[in-house]
A and B are shown apart, each in its own frame.
Chain A
Amino acid sequence: MENLIETIGLTKRYKKQLALNDVSIHVRQGEIYGLIGKNGAGKSTFFKTLMGLAPEYSGEILLFGERSSAELNDARQRMGFMMGANFFPYLTARENLEYYRKLKGISDASEVDRVLKLVEMDQVNKKFKAFSMGMKQRVSIANALMGSPDIIVLDEPINGLDPQGIADFRKIVQKLNKEQKITFLISSHILGELELMATRFGFIHDGVLIEELDRETIRNKTEEKVVVRTNDVEKTAYLLEQHFDNIDYTVNSGQEIVISKMTDRVDEIAQLIVKNELKLYKLISQEISIQDYYLNLLAKGGEQHV
């Protein structure tokens, strides 16, 4: 799959502090790439460097395969970008977006209405300075969506949005990704939301991209398990061995049976125990979330960077 965004050994330093350290990222066409990292991990510095707002870096940036300074500027015209919500306070949302429509050279005058409608701001005629945080964020998202760019880069897009706004935003991203094949690069420290949207993840910590992998790989790499506690641990273990081929389990110190994988067969396990007249005290399916994976990663591989 073609990389639309690629960095090779991207390193950015502020005096003695290393903000980005040898970051090599690969954002492929058609994916929703979630860049995960806590505050100060280097996400915003990465975006600023990528979008030409922070010069003086080492390494290489490739956008649509282009790498020279002039080519990168041209490539950025095919990208939408959102970082914070910074607009002229004395203009309305429509006037602000009209400014950027002209700046980006988008000839279709109805484009402003289209994106305002997408973020449900088409009926608002107040000046930008009177907007709530969530409204400002919506205008900023609309600006990034304008002109249907090939890639949309969003830094912390759901900050300040209410739950309904977050759900609407997710729908918009997934719809545009599916229907218009727009590639997204999204950062957030709200991992639960990224988990619902992204098809691929990059984990950044202290300026280092620790790992990047897609959703399926994470699923395969993470340990899903089912925890069972009954009144007779030996009989339960015997029944499980008889019923399921190649079952992999251990008994922990609390006399609970911990079965690897099989989170999709919890119903069968429950039926087996009840049918054999055992008392079922506990039956939990544990699937590791992206957040758990990230924290594990920091505790293991990321230790050297912590």
Chain B
Amino acid sequence: MFNFIQADLYRLAHKKSNYAFYGILFSLFVVAVILLQTSSPESEGISNAYIELGVFLLSQAFPLFFGLQAYSTVYINDISSSSHQNIFSSGLSKTEFVIGKFITFVIYLFTTFLIGAIVFFALFFFLTLSTGAQFDTGNLSNLAVVGVTIFLGMIGYAAVANMVSFISQNTTVSLITFGVLISNISLTALDLISLATDKLEFLRKLTLSYYINHTNQSVIAGFLPEMSSNAEPLVTWGVTVLYIVVASIVGILILSRIEIKEGK
């Protein structure tokens, strides 16, 4: 299994388009922040506003952009290149594959978060230094809560999407499934249905998005005047870990029973 993780990390490190993707997105972020700061040169409250911007981007934009890219690179590339038949015929068991991929995905996401954090705080430091504002880290705990929630959430969504991905072994189906999960379309649909009938209300609470949204929105609501946060992150993290464990076990069972499609 560790051979597989090592090989997969080698592959990810040699996919040059990854570097272009991260380079462009992080550059855009840096340019946008500098432009915003230049157009509104007040230094008062800049620290809090910057952290709040970080929380907002992390919870709303990060999963969609980086989540899709990470899932596509780590998981879907195997399907699109039909590599499963080479991988499994080398003697790697289905359990080793699922666990190995999970660890690779965690490492990949962690690296992404780490680079994001370095860019974010380097810019934070530069802003406070250039404007003379205080390096106020009071809101950092909120940023950390949202960061961990999104990190675990992306792994949870990937584990759930994999169940469909293993059955379909289809690039488009897999990507759409992950996209639907991470963009909260399923929860929004259930929200709309619950406007008409409350019979499906229980389904909302079974979705991972329900817990992740609750935590993130509570943190963001806490930024508003006279609003307090009721994020309950531990519940959300617990549910997410449960999702990851159950979905991974189901994924192993599915993978053990399906036939690996032949490449073209």
Contacts and interface: CB of A to CB of B under 8 A. Distances in A.
Interface of A: 44, 48, 51-56, 70, 73-77, 79, 81, 83-91, 95, 98-100, 102-105, 143
24 contacts: A44-B262, A51-B89, A52-B88, A53-B85, A54-B259, A55-B259, A73-B92, A76-B89, A76-B90, A77-B91, A84-B85, A84-B264, A86-B86, A88-B11, A89-B81, A90-B17, A99-B8, A99-B10, A100-B7, A100-B86, A100-B90, A102-B3, A103-B4, A103-B90
Interface in B1-42: 3-4, 6-8, 10-11, 14-17
A221 to B, nearest CB: 35
Contacts of A77: 90-91
Interface of B: 3-4, 6-8, 10-11, 14-17, 77, 81-93, 256-260, 262-264
A158 B4 CA distance: 29
B77 A88 contact: yes
A87 B83 CA distance: 6
Contacts of A51: 85, 88-89
A84 B88 contact: no
Given A53-B89, A86-B264, A95-B14, 18 more contacts: A48-B260, A52-B89, A53-B84, A74-B91, A76-B91, A81-B90, A83-B262, A86-B263, A89-B81, A90-B15, A90-B16, A95-B11, A98-B10, A99-B7, A102-B3, A102-B6, A103-B90, A105-B3
A56 B255 CA distance: 12
Contacts of A85: 263
A55 B252 CA distance: 13
Contacts of B3: 102-105
Contact of B260 (A53, A88, A95): A53
A104 B257 contact: no
Nearest to A90: B15
A175 to B, nearest CB: 24
B82 A84 contact: yes
B79 to A, nearest CB: 11
Contacts of B15: 88, 90-91
A87 B81 CA distance: 6
In the complex, the 6 A-B pairs of residues with the closest C-beta atoms, listed nearest first:
A86-B263, A86-B82, A77-B91, A102-B7, A76-B91, A51-B89
Contacts of B85: 48, 51, 53, 83-84, 86
Nearest to B259: A54
Contacts of A56: 257, 259
Contacts of B14: 91, 95
A95 B15 CA distance: 10
Contacts of B17: 90
Contacts of A103: 3-4, 7, 87, 90, 92
Contact of B81 (A74, A88, A100): A88
A83 B77 CA distance: 18
A72 B259 CA distance: 17
A75 B87 CA distance: 14
Nearest to A105: B3
Nearest to B263: A86
B83 A75 contact: no
B27 to A, nearest CB: 22
A105 B7 CA distance: 9
A102 B262 contact: no
Contacts of A99: 7-8, 10-11
Q: Which residue, B17, B77, B81, has most C-beta atoms of chain A within 10 A?
A: B81
Contacts of B259: 48, 53-56
Nearest to A47: B89
A103 to B, nearest CB: 4
A62 to B, nearest CB: 16
A102 B10 contact: yes
Q: Which residue, B4, B85, B89, B260, has most C-beta atoms of chain A within 10 A?
A: B89
